[in-house]
Each structure stands twice: as C-alpha cells, then as structure tokens.
Structure 1
Amino acid sequence: MLKLCGFALSNYYNKVKMVLLEKGVPFEESFAYPSQDEAFLARSPLGKVPFFETAQGPLCESQPMIEYLEALHPERPVYSRDPFIAAKQRELIVFLELHLELVARELYPQAFFGGTVSESAQARVRKRLERHITAFRQVAKFDPYLAGGEFSAADCAAFVHLPVIGLATQQIYGSDLLIEHGIDWKGYVKTIGERPSAQRVTADRKAYIAQQAKR
C-alpha cells in the first residue's frame, strides 16, 4: 500500500493527503519529520516532507506526488478533462506555492516559531507579496472553486496554503495582506472545508497540535 510520510502540521503534506482522500486511494500514514539523517536523505534528498514510499521506491515533492496519483488513478481526476482548464488549475498551484507561499515562508520564523525577521526582510517580502497577490487575483476565480466551476487539486493547495499565508502576514504586518487586497479566503476555505477530505485533514491537524501541546 502507498505510504505517505510526513506530519499533519505540514501544509504540503496535507495538500497531498487531501488529494489522496478525494481520489479514494488507499494509503498509510507514517510520521516523519524533516531530517538530514543519511537514511532519511536516501528517501527525500533535501530532507523534507512529504514523500511517498511506493513499491517502486520513494517519491518526494508534493506536486510530482500529485501528478503521480493523477496518472496512476485517472478514474477520479483532480484536474479538469479539458486540457486548457487543467493547465489553468496547475497554473494556480504554481502561483500559490512559488509566488505566494514560498515568499511568505520567510516570515514564518517570527510569525509562528518565536524567531526574528529583520525589518528590511519584512519590507522586501511585503513588496513582493503585494505584487504577487495582485497577479494571483487575475488568475483566481473563486467561483465557487479556485479555477471556476470545477473542484481540482488547486483547491487542495489553496485550502492548506491560504490560511497560513493570511495568518503570517497578519502576525507580521498587523494586516492580512490577502484580505487587504480583496481575496476573501476565509469564505472560500469555509466552503472547501465542508468536503469530507478537508474535514479529515483539519481534524487530523488539530489532533496533532493537541498531541504536541500535551508533550
């Protein structure tokens, strides 16, 4: 059986997990935390999560993992059958992860983990985010799904990434930059959150947080 390795606080882990649940693919979960241990690097060369353990070997990076699932189980697609719409759905994932989440990630040490991000870095990140959010608004429809009328893998990505980006900017700048620039991600996430896959991911994430708090 396919094994998903990582932990329930990781937004990229939850993105892949949500796709697995949407497609109805049987899988096991195996707790794994980022590591530079030699044995870990043999499965995930950068020491990151998530990654798959498959009968053919390990597979890392969340987007190739999703593309693998789509090719392996095409009977329940997470992309449109229309090639152009499917390409637009993938385009949105790139915007979310490369142009928004990866940029906002520089704020996370101070926003979530008690670290410090310099004022110059905060200003640089804000400038990039504001430009990228404006661009994202041009391609995202939220009608009702991210790419329009069809639920897709882009919604799995948006469901896990947008709240983190919004909260990080709120913590650092005193203002949620997504909302400030006209993206009602809270209403959208509430809609997606009604799906059983999203409810499972959310429940498992909250259980993980509660478990860590007890420790």
Structure 2
Amino acid sequence: MIKLYGFPLSNYFNKVKFVLLEHDIPFEEVRVNFGQDETTLARSPLGKVPYIDTDAGPLCESQVIVEYLASAYPDKPIFAADPYLAAKERELAVFVDQHLELVARDLYKQAFFGGTITDYTKARVEKLLNHHIAGFKRIAKFAPYVSGSTFSIADVCAFVSLPVIGLATKAVYGRDFLLDAGIDWKTHGKKVGERAAAQTVTADRLAYMEAQKRG
C-alpha cells in the first residue's frame, strides 16, 4: 500500500491526497512536517512534502506522484483518455502549480506568518502574478471546471491552491488578484467541494488547524 507523507496545511500534500481519495486508491497517511533528517532526505532530497513510499521505492514532487499513480493504476481515469485533452489538463495543472502558486508563495511570509516582505519582492510578485494570471485566464474555461465540462487534475490543483493565492494577495495588496481578473475561485471551490474527496481533504485540514491552535 502507498504511504503518503505530509500534513494537511500543505496544498501539494492535499493535491496528492485528493487524487488518491477521488480515484479510490488505497493509501496510508503519515503525518510529517518538512525535515532535514537523513530518513526524510532519503525519500525527499530537499526535505519537502509530500512524498510517498511505494513497493518500488520513494517518490517526491506532487505532479510526479500524480503521474506515477496514473501509470500504476491505468484503470483509474486520472487523466482524459484522449492524449490532447490529457495534455491540456496537465498544462492547466502546471499553470496553477508553477506560474501562479509558486510565484504567490513569496507573499506567504507576510500574508500568513506575521513576517514582512521587501518592497522589491512585493513589486516583483505583483508584476509576475498579474502577467501569469492573464495567461492562465486565456486557457482556463471554468465551465464549470477549469478545463471545461469535465473534472480533471486541473481542478484538484485549483481547489487546493487558488484560495491560498487569492487570500495572500488580499492580505498583502488589499485586493484579490484572481477575483479582480475574473477568475471566480470561490464558485469553483464550491462546485469541487461537493465531491467526497474534497470534503475529506477540507475536513482534515480544518481539524489539523484546530489541533494546532490547541497546541
């Protein structure tokens, strides 16, 4: 059985967990944080989460893990059967993960953790993020799902990351860059949130946050 390592505040941990739940792939959840110990680094060379243990060995990086699951469980429709549609789903996932979330991550120190970012960082992220959001909007449909009428990995990525991006920009700049650009992540989140996997991921995240508050 697959072991999934990470914690429910990590959107990329939640991305992999969502896929496992959505496609009914058996797994064991192992709660760990980032780490630089040798045991962690043997599985995840940078000490990041998520990572998994498989019968063949460990894997890290959320999209790599999703690709592995698609290959290891060919009976599970993680990607569209049509090669082009599947590639478009991957394209949208890359936009969310790399061109939106990875850029917005530089805001999290100030948005969520009580720190302060430099004016340079603030200006750089604003310029990049607005440019990348415009690009994402050119290919995302939200009709009602990110790629159109069919739920896909792009929706998983959007569900776990777009709210964080919107909230971060609101906290740092006083406005939600996504909503201002016409990307209604709230309506999309409600739609995806009707799925059982999304409800489990959300409930576990909220329970984890509550436990952290209690110490």
Shorter-chain TM-score bucket reads over 0.9
Can you list the C-alpha shifts for 1:79-129, whole angstroms capped at 9, x where unaligned? Answer: 111111110000001111111000000000010111110112101100110
Taking the aligned partners of 2:97 and 2:152, their CA distance within structure 1 comes to 15
**Structure-1 residue corresponding to 2:172:** 172
**Structure-1 residue corresponding to 2:15:** 15
1:208 paired to 2:202: no
The 4+ residue runs of structure 1 with deviation greater than 3 A are none
Which sections of structure 1, spanning at least 5 residues, go unmatched?
Answer: none
**Structure-2 residue corresponding to 1:118:** 118
**Structure-2 residue corresponding to 1:95:** 95
1:145 paired to 2:148: no
Can you list the C-alpha shifts for 1:128-183, whole angstroms capped at 9, x where unaligned? Answer: 10010000000100011110111111111110010000000000000000001111
**Structure-1 residue corresponding to 2:77:** 77
Count of residues paired in the alignment: 215
**Structure-2 residue corresponding to 1:44:** 44
Taking the aligned partners of 1:56 and 1:73, their CA distance within structure 2 comes to 14
1:78–1:151 Cα contact (<8 Å) kept: no
Residue type of the partner of 1:172? V
1:30 Cα deviation (Å)?
0.3
Tell me how large the CA RMSD over aligned residues is: 0.7
Identity of aligned residues (%): 58
Taking the aligned partners of 2:131 and 2:40, their CA distance within structure 1 comes to 37
1:80–1:150 Cα contact (<8 Å) kept: no
TM-score, normalisation: structure 1: 0.98
1:76 Cα deviation (Å)?
2.1
Taking the aligned partners of 1:35 and 1:194, their CA distance within structure 2 comes to 34
Taking the aligned partners of 2:97 and 2:31, their CA distance within structure 1 comes to 23
1:89–1:154 Cα contact (<8 Å) kept: yes
Partner SS, residue 28 of structure 1: strand
Taking the aligned partners of 1:40 and 1:161, their CA distance within structure 2 comes to 25
Taking the aligned partners of 1:70 and 1:21, their CA distance within structure 2 comes to 13
1:130 paired to 2:130: yes
Taking the aligned partners of 1:64 and 1:31, their CA distance within structure 2 comes to 20
